[in-house]
Amino acid sequence: MKKLLFTVFSAAMFCGGTYAQDATPKVDTLTITAVGDIMLGSIVPDMSYCPPNNDASHLLDEVKPYFENSDIVFCNVEGTFTDTKTGAKNCNDPKTCFTFGMPKKYAKCFKDAGFNLVSVANNHSGDFGELGKTNAKHLLDSLEINWAGFTEKPVTEFVVNGIKYGFCAFAPNKGTVQITDHANACALVKKLREDTCQIVIVSFHGGAEGANYQHVPRKYETFLGQNRGNVYAFAHEVIDAGADIVLGHGPHVTRAVEIYKGKFIAYSMGNFATYSNINIKGVNGLAPIFRVKIDKETGNFISAKIIPTYQIKPPNKGPHIDSQKRVIQVIQNLTKEDIYDNLPQISDDGEILPPKK
C-alpha cells in the first residue's frame, strides 16, 4: 500500500511539475511605464499660471509610487522650460493664450518622479523659440533624462539595466521630426535596429484635439488647418519597420489601445499632469498610467495594467488615482469600437491581455 501511494504521489508530482512548466513558462520581462502630456505650469501669461509659491515639486506625489520598479518611465513634455518670456509667442489674452513655458527648476520634478525618457516632439516645444529649445536640451541632458524629437536630434540610444534601447519621437510641427513622413520614420526605426538596439520605442504627438476626437479614424486628421497625421497607419508602419512599442499623445483625450503583430500601441494617453490653461473637464481630465510588460528578448507584448487617474480644478493639485476607474471604461469602449481586428482583452480592473486566439 505504501509503495502504491508513493508511486501515485510521484506521478502526481511529475505531472504537476510538467504541467506547471508548460502552462507558465519563465519569461524575462521589461516594464515600460508610460503617461501622456505633462505641463506643470507656465510663466505665460504670468506667474499665476504656475502652482502657488512657484512650487511644482508636489504635483506628482500621488502617482510617483506607480512609476517604481520600471525599466522605462516615459512622458511627453508639453511645452518647454524658461525663466523669461524672451522668444515667446505674442500671447496676452488668457482665454486664447496657449504658450507653455515651465520655470527651469521644474525640470527636476520630472527627474524626481522617476522619468528617464521623454518626448520633446509636440506643438508647444517651440513656444519660446530657440531659447526654449536650448533650455530643454541642456536641462534634460544635465538631469540624464533621455530625449528625442527635435529635427537635430530625431533619435537617442541608451542603456538601462543592461538593455540597449532606441527611441524616436514625431509630431506635425516645425522643428520636430515629422509624423507625416512615414518613410523617414521607418528608416529611423530600421537604423536603430541596425545599431543593435534590443528594444525600440516610438512616440508620436498626433491626431486632432479634444473630446470630439476620441476615436482613431484610420485616416489623416486635420485640426486648425494642420495635417496632424494618420496615427493608425503610422503606428502600424513603424512596427512593421521594427518598433516594439508605440506611445501616442496629442489629442488631449485618451484613445484606444491595440496589440498589432504582438506589439503594444497606445493611440493617446491624454492629459496626465497639465496644471494650467488646458481643458481638463470631463473626459479631458481622465488619463491612464500604462504599466506594460514586454518580453526582453523579442519585445513582444505580454500584459499591461491601466492605473486610472484624473485631474480637477480649481485648484489643480496634480493627477489623482481614480477610485471610480473611469478611464478604464473609456479605453474599453473606444478599443471595442475602433480596434475591431486586433482587439486586446481589457478587464474592468484595467488588466490588458493579448487578443484571444
Where residue 314 falls among pLDDT bands split at 50, 70, 90?
confident
- pLDDT of 176 > 70? The answer is yes
The average pLDDT across 104-131 equals: 97
Domain assignment of residue 257, yes or no: yes
Domain assignment of residue 3, yes or no: no
C-alpha 59/C-alpha 228 separation (Å) is 30
- pLDDT of 6 > 90? The answer is no
Domain count, the chain: 1
Strand partners, 39: 274
Range of the domain at 322: 29-353
Range with lowest mean pLDDT among 23-32, 63-72, 81-90, 234-243: 23-32
CATH number for the domain spanning 295: value is 3.60.21.10
Domain assignment of residue 20, yes or no: no
- pLDDT of 39 > 80? The answer is yes
Quote the cell numbers at residue 129.
523659440
- Diameter of the chain by CA atoms? 92
- pLDDT of 55 > 80? The answer is yes
321: helix, coil or strand?
strand
Strand partners, 247: 203, 266
Domain assignment of residue 233, yes or no: yes
Taking only the tens place, the pLDDT of each residue in 286-311 is 999 999 999 999 999 999 999 999 99
Strand partners, 178: 171
Domain assignment of residue 268, yes or no: yes
C-alpha 276/C-alpha 37 separation (Å) is 12
Its pTM stands at: 0.91
How is residue 104 annotated by DSSP?
G
Q: What per-residue confidence (pLDDT) applies to 7? A: 40
Q: Output the DSSP codes for 1-40.
A: -HHHHHHHHHHHHHHHHHHHHHHS----EEEEEEEEEEE-
Domain assignment of residue 5, yes or no: no
- pLDDT of 97 > 90? The answer is no
Q: What per-residue confidence (pLDDT) applies to 95? A: 62
Domain assignment of residue 16, yes or no: no
Q: What is the mean pLDDT of the chain?
A: 92
- pLDDT of 18 > 80? The answer is no
C-alpha 103/C-alpha 84 separation (Å) is 8
Sequence length of the chain is 357
Domain assignment of residue 241, yes or no: yes
